Amino acid sequence: GGSLASLDPEIAAVLEGELGRQRETLEMIASENFVPRAVLQAQGSVLTNKYAEGYPGRRYYGGCEEVDVAENLAIERVKSLFGAGYANVQPHSGATANAAVLHALATPGDTILGLSLAHGGHLTHGMKINFSGRLYDVAAYEVDPETYRIDYDALRAKAIESKPRVIIAGWSAYPRHLDFEAFRSIADEVGALLWTDMAHFAGLVAAGLHPNPVPHSDVVSSTVHKTLGGPRSGVILARDEEPWGKKLNSAVFPGQQGGPLMHVIAAKAVAFKLAATEAFRDRQARTLEGARIIADRLAQPDVAAAGVSVLTGGTDVHLVLVDLRHSPLDGQQAEDLLHSAGITVNRNAVPFDPRPRASPPACGSARRRSRPAASAPRSSPRSPT
Ligand code: PLP
Residue 383's pLDDT band, with cuts at 50, 70 and 90, is low
Summarize pLDDT for 184-216 with one digit per residue, the tens. Answer: 999 999 999 999 999 999 999 999 999 999 999
Instruction: Report CA(223)–ligand 1 centroid distance (Å).
Output: 6
Residue 371's pLDDT band, with cuts at 50, 70 and 90, is very low
Helices (H) and strands (E) in the chain, counts: 14, 15
Cβ atoms of 199 and 232 closer than 8 Å: no
Residue 269 and residue 276: Cα distance in Å, rounded? 11
The answer to whether 123 is annotated as binding is yes
- The region, left, alpha or beta by phi > 0 then psi within -120 to 50, assigned to residue 342 is left
Residue 370 and residue 385: Cα distance in Å, rounded? 24
Q: At what angle do helices 262-274 and 65-82 cross, to 10 degrees?
A: 40
Catalytic residue check, 189:
no
Instruction: Report CA(66)–ligand 1 centroid distance (Å).
Output: 30
List residues near ligand 1 (CB under 6 A): 31, 93-95, 98, 122, 124, 170-172, 197, 199-200, 223, 234, 385
Does residue 351 sit in helix, strand or coil? coil
Tell me whether 0.95 is exceeded by the ipTM: yes
Summarize pLDDT for 214-270 with one digit per residue, the tens. Answer: 999 999 999 999 999 999 999 999 999 999 999 999 999 999 999 999 999 999 999
Summarize pLDDT for 100-132 with one digit per residue, the tens. Answer: 999 999 999 999 999 999 999 999 999 999 999
DSSP β-bridge partners for residue 221:
197, 236
The answer to whether 27 is annotated as binding is no
Instruction: Report CA(120)–ligand 1 centroid distance (Å).
Output: 12
Which residue is catalytic, options 24, 53, 330, 336? 53
The answer to whether 209 is annotated as binding is no
Cβ atoms of 280 and 229 closer than 8 Å: yes
Catalytic residue check, 347:
no
- E strands within 217-340? 219-223, 234-238, 309-310, 320-323
Contacts 24+ apart (CB under 8 A), 191-194: 191/163, 192/113, 192/159, 192/163, 192/164, 192/165, 192/166, 192/167, 193/105, 193/106, 193/165, 193/166, 193/167, 193/218, 193/219, 194/166, 194/167, 194/169, 194/218, 194/219
Does residue 353 sit in helix, strand or coil? coil
Average pLDDT, the chain: 93
Q: Of 215, 207, 204, whose CA–CA distance to 175 is shortest? A: 204
Where is 344: in which H helix or E strand?
strand 343-344
